[in-house]
Structure 1
């Protein structure tokens, strides 16, 4: 089986390859094609993969290319993990938002909108090309903002594009650990959008263990989300939110912590990863692994500081995230190994009030026919309202990318729950347009804006 990775020079590619190395079952991936536009980055990752494969006699073959048509043609699965504008673009996303006093995280609020606006034209081109060259391929999307990008690509790929994220599976694993149960035995009642979801139930043999967890302060604050949100707030809402809900529930604290930090998350990652990508002597795998650990240790550091949550524990740092979801998804489809996974798919009414083609993040049944969303309990009122609001923003971003409408882009900024003024939204859009050349496709700029 052949897997093509778009964004093959990306830092987290070795996680995917390690999952493939650990898989020795029938029908496994035997050939991995890395595609990237940056030959130096792709060569750095190829060296890491070569070290990972040492001593593994049946290691999947790895080839590299900068030619998209060559990469896609003949692929059974295409893993999309591209970053348009690189980490330098992320720095702009974060800085511009923080200068206006609003959240600038790369997938949340103003920063997420800017990231989506520059990413979607590329993602749409990729979807059209895959549909033409590999119409039978399944596309696994990890390009952020994952739900937004998956929904846009589904216009050309239909149900053959499926979005994945490691946040829900990580949350489920940590909650299972706090409960002292095997994660493989747990049913997670989880629903929402990507980076905007809630865990409402944790069932083992039909019994919901979440109410007991919410009553136990010690167990509840033994894992990352419990410390981040606090036991009192989790009991107040009666569920456990995805970690990214911290930006919504504690907006002022999150913005203040980010503005007080010496540098943004994107700037920190540039510093961390530049050391790896410029590494020339010694073990490439060791250099990558030490950088990965540093990356994971500093993840959401400002939010943890704002919440007084302390450092991440060894349990929080455990691997087994999106690469395991991707492997399970591929095996379920290719080999009809039926599985239930939390994925980003077209909802078909899974969440009340959203259209059938709106991509949501819910448990799905997966087999050779693809992924189908399962029925979930209704979201509580405040959560449903937030989901509906953010979905409208996502669809405005898609409209802007498909039509070039600057008005749609402005509407996305102005109606996002984390942007508190139309005036702020106008300034955000104007500033992003000045600093991000990828937004040059937007039309309908006013004379006042054009004159600047």
Structure 2
């Protein structure tokens, strides 16, 4: 089994340490020769890197080398895999996005509505540049992109790199939801076989089977409605915001019982209620800054100070495991099934072929092989078409430097709808994102 050279781009992320624990957990299935951290923020990267160096010495001694750098050539030359998780503007810009949205009475959220548009427009430029950098040094590396908002980023990358068959956009939300399904059903999550369709953060599970072919869908629906629904992944299980999100998913199932919803649909189905509950002085970004970010930074500081990870509160999380298991399938042709983002090309028969859809695929050494979905129902199709139009307009606006299309995009988005709000929000976001967004005309 070939050992891989892995690069983590955006290694200053608060998710990096969980991913490193996942690499250790999966080292027999995804063996590594070298691990390299790359980030443009040297200081933020260094904390994670110094803690990881200690962690690997204790728990991954067979690793040939670990290094960290801000030099592109040093990072990407001869890479086999690049895991990408960048956040242009950091959490400070996320907090601004959310506060601007809430100021206008609409959902303040990282990937949905105006916040998703703002973050997406910041991400596109850096993601395109990063992929070009990777390809200049490693033309055959697999690039697994986690950067949000994945739907907008995937659309932009598909346009910029239409022939790059080794660039895959993925999201861990479906598997994070499936962990909760697995807990309710008392089945290992990796033994579940989902049927699913939609866009990223905008989809539905239609069936949940196990690997023996048993259908657990109706039983699962009953359990969620009768006993409740809560997050089970260790990274989010104790997070009050995520607990409320999973409670709302139960309500979505009650209101629309045909399919099991992705949790992010709450922002589009109940936008006014969710916006009204938010505190502009304590948005989700502020909660992350004071919660997960502080916890991760304190843990890294403790490891560095003690010179050991023995007493650290580090754990494997689904964010890392999902990325690594997908990489295993691509590297070793295991033909495992995952929900990932691909160009539609007839997979969902009654949606446009260029739509970037999130569907089950077999991952092979030749890339993802999606399962045909066929036609989807009118209600779900109508919701998806509206969301897809919003996403397309945002990406059109980026490539065309067209401010009017941003107004059109938010007017279509179910979290906004009102054209006057759309115009005012675009104006405020343009001012806040100077230096990040294109020079819109």
TM-score by length of 2: 0.87
The answer as to whether partners of 1:179 and 1:219 remain within 8 angstroms in 2 is no
- The equivalent residue for 1:82 is 86
Q: Secondary structure at the match of 1:344?
A: strand
- Following superposition, the deviation at residue 152 of structure 1 comes to 1.6
- The equivalent residue for 2:261 is 241
- The equivalent residue for 1:310 is none
- Following superposition, the deviation at residue 93 of structure 1 comes to 0.8
Deviation readout 1:161-190 (Å, 9 max, x if unpaired): 111211101111211221222323221111
- The equivalent residue for 1:450 is none
- The equivalent residue for 2:250 is 230
- Following superposition, the deviation at residue 113 of structure 1 comes to 0.5
- Following superposition, the deviation at residue 286 of structure 1 comes to 7.0
Q: Secondary structure at the match of 1:365?
A: strand
Matched, 1:213 2:233: no
How many angstroms apart in 2 are the aligned matches of 1:169 and 1:267? 25
Matched, 1:194 2:161: no
- Following superposition, the deviation at residue 281 of structure 1 comes to 5.6
- The equivalent residue for 2:173 is 167
How many angstroms apart in 2 are the aligned matches of 1:219 and 1:76? 47
- Following superposition, the deviation at residue 237 of structure 1 comes to 2.6
- Following superposition, the deviation at residue 147 of structure 1 comes to 2.3
- Following superposition, the deviation at residue 380 of structure 1 comes to 3.0
Identify which of 36, 49, 52 aligns with 2:52.
49
Q: Secondary structure at the match of 2:435?
A: helix
How many angstroms apart in 1 are the aligned matches of 2:311 and 2:378? 44
Deviation readout 1:116-145 (Å, 9 max, x if unpaired): 111111112222333333221111010000
- The equivalent residue for 2:290 is 271
The answer as to whether partners of 1:93 and 1:432 remain within 8 angstroms in 2 is yes
Identify which of 334, 337, 348 aligns with 1:351.
348
Which runs of no fewer than 5 residues in structure 2 stay unpaired? 232-244
Q: 1:209 to 1:15 in 2, by over 3 A?
A: same
Q: 1:438 to 1:380 in 2, by over 3 A?
A: farther
How many angstroms apart in 2 are the aligned matches of 1:60 and 1:384? 50
How many angstroms apart in 1 are the aligned matches of 2:257 and 2:225? 18
Q: 1:431 to 1:355 in 2, by over 3 A?
A: same
Which runs of no fewer than 5 residues in structure 1 stay unpaired? 293-317, 445-452
- The equivalent residue for 2:164 is 158
Q: Secondary structure at the match of 1:345?
A: strand
1:368-387 correspondence runs (5 A): 368-376=365-373, 378-387=375-384
- Following superposition, the deviation at residue 13 of structure 1 comes to 0.9
- Following superposition, the deviation at residue 49 of structure 1 comes to 0.9
